[in-house]
């Protein structure tokens, strides 16, 4: 995403959050983004909330595997190697 | 693990199933129309893994290789017709004034609120919200943020560009932030 004017507006900063977190912003763009954050509590808060969102999503409990399904698959494995 | 599988080590296969089966069913569900079809696709994938392990060249991680088999098979099986909720193209578009500054900025999440994020109710709501994302966003968010795979691995599994991957991730994450916001602020 190319942004030409010198100072980012909030909408532009928010659009760069994922690129920033993945560390793929070109250096100048990154500096602009960080400069915007220093002066903008709203966008800083937004970034922080995206981080919290990622953290929360990462803690979603995995589904439980039905032991019967597991046994069936192991049967499948045995049958495959018997042939 | 790959060596053990090649030596037909049943325990290694069991570990793999325990680790990946349910996440694979979830991923398959984003491609196909029903749970039973998803289960079939995953079983078919396991057969492909068992039969193909000798051909696995280890140019990617074992998980990436398995997930790619899954995605290929799921895509062949057919496009799902589940209806998805339309999402704005511009993230948080309704929160900005015409000059690009916040008109409705995010409110602070206090420590209290943050503690509640990890409580069961919010987690449950979030699980549903992930499932309700448009399928391609759901795929990327699940692989990146639930399974914590790298951007490169996710692109390899889904056969998409890094730029596309980030757009989908960006939209998915902002939607989930809004879900949490709605949940804790009561709308």
> In this predicted model, what pLDDT tens digit does every residue of A47-82 receive, in sequence order?
999 999 999 999 888 889 999 999 999 999 999 888
From the CA of A72, how many Å to the nearest CA of chain B?
10
CATH number of the domain enclosing B63: 1.10.1740.10
Q: Are residues B64 and B131 in the same domain?
A: no
Q: Which of A40, A56, A75, A83 to mutate to test the interface with B (most CBs of B within 10 A)?
A: A56
Find chain A residues with C-beta within 8 A of B126's C-beta: 56-57, 60
- Domain end, chosen from B29, B46, B77, is at B77
Q: What is the CATH number of the domain that holds B158?
A: 1.10.10.10
Contacts B43 to A, Cβ<8 Å: 73, 76
pLDDT digits (tens, 9 = 90+) for B34-71: 899 999 999 999 999 999 999 999 889 999 999 999 99
The total number of structural domains that make up chain A: 1
**Number of structural domains found in chain B:** 2
Residue A24 domain flag: yes
Q: What is the pLDDT of residues B140-164, one digit of tens each?
A: 999 999 999 999 999 999 999 999 9
Q: Which of residues 79-98 of B touch A (CB under 8 A)?
A: 90-92, 96
B66 and B123 together in one domain: no
B142 and B58 in one domain?
Answer: no
CB contact under 8 A, B180 and A81: no
Q: Which residue range is the domain that position A53 belongs to?
A: 10-82
Contact between residue B12 and residue B4 where contact means Cβ atoms under 8 Å apart:
yes
In a domain, B101, yes or no: yes
Rounded to a whole number of angstroms, the distance from the CA of B79 to the nearest CA of chain A is 24
The C-alpha atoms of residue A78 and residue B171 are separated, in whole angstroms, by 43
Specify if B147 maps to a domain.
yes
Q: Is residue B97 assigned to a domain? A: yes
Nearest residue on chain B to A50, judged by CA atoms? Answer: B177
In this structure, the answer to whether residues B155 and B112 fall within a common structural domain is: yes
Domain that residue B116 falls in: 93-185
Asked if the structure places residue B84 within a domain, the reply is no
> Which has the closest alpha carbon to B172: B87, B112, B66, B105?
B87
CB contact under 8 A, A15 and B141: no
Closest CA to B71 of B105, B46, B45: B45
The model's pTM is 0.89
Q: What ipTM was reported for this prediction?
A: 0.88
Task: Assess if residue A5 is contained within a domain.
Answer: no
């Amino acid at each position: 995403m190319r942004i030409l004017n010198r100072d980012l507006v909030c909408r532009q900063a928010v659009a760069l959050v994922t690129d920033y977190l993945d560390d793929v912003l070109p250096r100048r763009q990154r500096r602009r983004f960080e400069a915007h954050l220093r002066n903008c509590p709203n966008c800083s808060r937004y970034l922080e909330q995206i981080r919290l969102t990622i953290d929360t999503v990462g803690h979603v409990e995995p589904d439980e595997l039905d032991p019967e399904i597991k046994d069936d698959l192991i049967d499948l494995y045995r049958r495959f190697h018997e042939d | 693990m790959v060596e053990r599988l090649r030596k037909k080590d049943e325990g290694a296969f069991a570990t793999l199933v325990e680790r990946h089966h349910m996440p694979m069913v979830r991923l398959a569900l984003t491609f196909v129309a029903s749970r039973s079809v998803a289960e079939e696709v995953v079983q078919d994938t396991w057969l492909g893994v068992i039969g193909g392990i000798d051909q696995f060249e280890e140019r990617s991680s074992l998980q990436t290789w398995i997930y790619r088999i899954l995605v290929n098979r799921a895509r062949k099986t057919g496009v799902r017709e589940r209806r998805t909720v339309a999402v704005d193209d511009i993230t948080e578009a309704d929160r900005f004034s015409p000059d690009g500054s916040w008109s409705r900025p995010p409110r602070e999440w206090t420590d209290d609120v943050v503690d509640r994020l990890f409580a069961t109710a919010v987690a449950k709501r979030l699980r549903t919200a992930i499932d309700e994302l448009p399928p391609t966003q759901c795929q990327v968010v699940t692989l990146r943020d639930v399974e914590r795979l790298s951007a490169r691995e996710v692109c390899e599994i889904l056969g998409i560009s890094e730029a596309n991957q980030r757009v989908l991730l960006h939209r998915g994450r902002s939607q989930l932030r809004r879900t949490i916001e709605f949940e804790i602020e009561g709308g």
